[in-house]
C-alpha cells in the first residue's frame, strides 16, 4: 500500500509535468569526488567513474572529477584514465590528511564556482563524513548508500535507489528543488570500469584560500588498523552461511569448502546474531557489501537486507531446501536440497577436480575451471 502510494507520488512528481526550478538549469555536469589516502585513490572512486560516465552520457554532459589532497596531481591523470574529461585539482598542504573543514571548504567552493548537477562520493568513512558536511553547507539533498543510480534525461533528475524502512522496500529518491543532487555509493556496488591510460582530459587547478591556523582540528598521529582477519570486500570467492546451518559448529562444513576453493567465510546477519560467527563476516545492508567472482549462499533465505550486500557478485550459487526462497531469484545456479548433503558433496567434487592433473592446466582460476566442469 505504502509502496504503491510512494510510486504514484514519484510518477506524479518526476515523470508527469515536472519542471526543474529555474536555478537548477544553471547546474550542469556529473562529478565524482576522488577519495585518496596518502596519495592512493580509493577503488570506490574509480567504480563511481563507471556509473558517472553512463549518467553523464545520458545527460549529454562530460564526466568530471574532483581531486583534493597534497601532492596528488598523479590522481588527476588516473581519474582521466578512468573516464573523466576534466579534473578539478586542489593540491594544498592543508589537505594532506583528511579533516572535515578544509575538505568541505574546498568542495563547496568548487561546487559554487562550477555548479555540477550531480555530485557522487563513496559511502566510506571519508565519503559519509564529507558528503553530509557538503550537503548541509550547500543546503541540498543527499542520498546515502545508493545501490542503483539512473537519470531521467528529460527532467535531468537523478533517481537514487537505496533500501528504506529497515530494508523492506527499495526506495527511489529524487532531489527536485536543490542542486547538486548528491549521492554516496558503497564500495563494490558498482562495476569497476576499464582504465585506459591513453585517454586525455583537462586538469583545472584551483587554489584553496585557507591557512592552517584557520582550521580548528589537527591530526596528531595516524594509526593503521592492524589485526583485521577478514577482508570480505577483497575476496574473490565467498562461502556464506545462514540460519539454515542450525548451529555454529556447522560452519566447519563451509570452511572445508572455502579452504578447497581458496575462499573466505561470509554470513547472514541471523547467523551473526546467533553468535555462530563474528560480525566481520556479515554480508548485507548492515554488514559488508561484496562483489566476488563466486558467492555461495548456503542456508540463507535471501532477505532484501542480505541481497543488497551481494547481489552484484559475478556468479551466485544458492543452496536451500526451500524452492521458494528469495535467494533463488538472484542466483546464477540454484541447488534445491539439504545443505548437509550438498555441501560435503561439493567439497569432495571440487577437491577431486582441483587435485586432478588437468585442473588449472590452461591457466585461469582453479575454481572457475571447476565450476565449468560441473
Ligand atoms: C535494518 C535491518 C538490517 C539488516 N541487515 C542485514 C544484513 O546486513 N545482512 C543480513 O544477512 N541480514 C540483515 N538483516 C536481517 C534480514 O532481514 C534477515 O533476517 C536475515 O538475512 C536472515 O538470515 P538467514 O537467511 O540466514 O535466515 P533465515 O531467513 O531464517 O533463512 C534460513 C534459510 O535456510 C534454509 N534452510 C534451513 N535448513 C536448511 C537445510 N538443511 N538445507 C538447506 N537450506 C536450509 C531455509 O529454507 C531458509 O531459507 C537486517 C534486518 C534489518 C531489519
Please give the distance, rounded to the nearest whole angstrom, from the Cα atom of residue 299 to the centre of ligand 1: 8
The pLDDT value given to residue 362: 47
**Joined grid coordinates for residue 113:** 564556482
pLDDT at 21 over 80: no
Predicted local distance difference test score (pLDDT) of residue 23: 76
Strand partners, 95: none
CA of 266 to the centre of ligand 1 (A): 12
Task: Tell me, using a 6 A CB cutoff, whether residue 163 lines ligand 1.
Answer: no
In a 13 Å sphere around the CA of 283, the CA atoms on its Cβ side amount to 36
Highest mean pLDDT among 218-232, 317-331, 356-370: 317-331
Q: Can you give the pLDDT at residue 2?
A: 59
SS3 content of the chain, % helix, strand, coil (to 5): 35, 25, 40
Lowest-confidence region among 131-140, 221-230, 266-275: 221-230
Q: What are the sequence ranges of the domains in the chain?
A: 2-214, 232-372
Q: Ligand 1 pocket, 289 CB below 6 A?
A: no
pLDDT the model gives residue 374: 37
Provide mean pLDDT across the span 324-339.
Answer: 97
Ligand 1 atom 31, closest CA: 301
95: helix, strand or coil: helix
Residue-wise pLDDT tens digits, 224-244: 877 666 789 889 999 999 999
Cα–Cα distance, 240 to 267 (Å, whole number) = 5
Q: Kindly report the backbone phi and psi dihedral angles of residue 180, in degrees, each rounded to the nearest multiple of 5, phi listed first.
A: -75, 165
The pick from 285, 316, 327 for probing ligand 1's pocket by mutation, whose C-beta has the most ligand atoms within 8 angstroms, reads: 285
> Which atom of ligand 1 is the closest one to the Cα of 285?
8
Nearest CA to ligand 1 atom 26: 242
Quote the pLDDT of residue 336: 97
* Mean pLDDT for the chain overall: 90
Model confidence at 20: pLDDT above 50: yes
DSSP string, 335-360: EES-HHHHHHHHHHHHHHHHHSTTTT
pLDDT in the model for residue 132: 98
Q: What separation in Å is there between the alpha carbon of 273 and the centre of ligand 1?
A: 10
Question: Is the confidence at residue 80, as pLDDT, over 60?
Answer: yes
pLDDT level of residue 363 (50, 70, 90 thresholds): very low
CA–CA distance, 18 with 168 (Å, rounded to integer): 28
333 lines ligand 1 (CB under 6 A): no
The rounded Å distance from CA 303 to ligand 1 centre is 6
- How far the first Cα of the chain sits from its last, in Å, is 44
CATH 3.40.50.620 given to domain 2-214 = yes
pLDDT of residue 354: 85
Which top CATH class is 232-372? alpha beta
Residue 242 CB–ligand 1 contact under 6 Å: yes
Using a 6 Å cutoff on CB, does residue 300 contact ligand 1?
yes
Residues with Cβ < 8 Å from 68, sequence gap 6 or more?
33, 34, 36, 90, 95, 103, 106, 107
For ligand 1, whether the C-beta of 339 sits within 6 Å is: yes
Whether residue 270 has its Cβ less than 6 Å from ligand 1: yes
Distances (CA, A) of 89 to 67, 73, 107, 122, 286: 5, 7, 10, 18, 34
pLDDT band at 25 (very low <50, low <70, confident <90, very high): confident
Phi-psi region of 162 (alpha: psi -120 to 50; beta: other; left: phi over 0): beta
For residues 143-171, give the mean pLDDT: 92
**65 C-alpha to ligand 1 centroid (Å):** 39
Tell me: pLDDT of 139 over 90.
yes
User: Which of 11-20, 299-308, 361-370 has the weakest average pLDDT?
Assistant: 361-370
Amino acid at each position: 500500500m505504502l509502496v504503491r502510494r510512494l510510486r504514484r507520488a514519484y510518477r506524479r512528481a518526476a515523470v508527469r509535468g515536472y519542471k526543474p526550478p529555474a536555478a537548477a538549469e544553471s547546474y550542469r555536469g556529473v562529478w565524482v569526488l576522488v577519495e585518496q589516502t596518502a596519495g592512493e585513490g580509493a577503488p570506490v572512486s574509480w567504480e563511481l567513474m563507471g556509473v558517472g560516465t553512463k549518467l553523464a552520457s545520458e545527460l549529454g554532459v562530460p564526466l568530471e572529477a574532483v581531486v583534493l589532497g597534497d601532492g596528488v596531481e598523479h590522481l588527476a591523470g588516473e581519474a582521466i584514465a578512468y573516464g573523466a574529461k576534466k579534473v578539478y585539482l586542489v593540491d594544498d598542504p592543508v589537505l594532506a590528511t583528511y579533516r572535515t573543514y578544509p575538505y568541505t571548504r574546498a568542495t563547496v567552493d568548487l561546487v559554487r564556482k562550477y555548479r555540477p548537477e550531480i555530485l557522487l562520493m563513496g559511502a566510506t568513512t571519508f565519503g559519509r563524513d564529507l558528503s553530509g558536511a557538503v550537503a548541509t553547507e550547500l543546503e541540498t539533498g543527499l542520498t546515502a548508500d545508493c545501490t542503483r543510480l539512473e537519470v531521467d534525461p528529460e527532467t535531468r533528475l537523478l533517481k537514487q535507489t537505496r533500501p528504506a524502512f529497515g530494508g523492506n522496500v527499495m526506495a527511489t529518491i529524487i532531489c527536485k528543488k536543490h542542486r547538486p543532487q548528491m549521492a554516496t555509493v558503497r564500495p563494490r556496488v558498482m562495476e569497476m570500469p576499464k582504465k585506459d591510460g591513453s585517454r586525455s582530459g583537462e586538469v583545472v587547478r584551483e587554489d584553496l584560500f585557507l591557512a592552517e591556523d584557520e582550521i580548528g582540528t589537527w591530526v596528531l598521529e595516524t594509526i593503521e588498523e592492524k589485526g583485521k582477519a577478514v577482508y570480505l570486500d577483497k575476496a574473490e570467492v565467498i562461502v556464506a552461511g545462514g540460519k539454515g546451518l542450525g548451529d555454529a559448529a556447522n560452519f566447519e562444513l563451509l570452511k572445508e569448502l572455502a579452504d578447497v576453493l581458496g575462499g573466505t567465510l561470509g554470513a547472514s546477519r541471523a547467523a551473526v546474531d546467533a553468535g555462530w560467527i563474528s560480525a566481520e563476516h556479515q554480508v548485507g545492508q548492515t554488514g559488508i557489501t561484496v562483489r566476488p567472482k563466486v558467492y555461495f549462499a548456503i542456508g540463507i533465505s535471501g532477505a532484501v537486507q542480505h541481497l543488497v550486500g551481494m547481489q552484484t557478485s559475478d556468479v551466485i550459487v544458492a543452496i536451500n531446501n526451500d524452492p521458494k526462497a528469495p535467494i533463488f531469484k538472484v542466483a546464477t545456479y540454484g541447488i534445491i536440497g539439504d545443505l548437509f548433503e550438498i555441501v560435503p558433496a561439493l567439497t569432495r567434487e571440487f577437491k577431486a577436480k582441483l587435485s586432478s592433473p588437468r585442473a588449472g592446466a590452461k591457466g585461469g582460476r582453479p575454481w572457475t575451471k571447476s565450476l565449468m566442469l560441473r
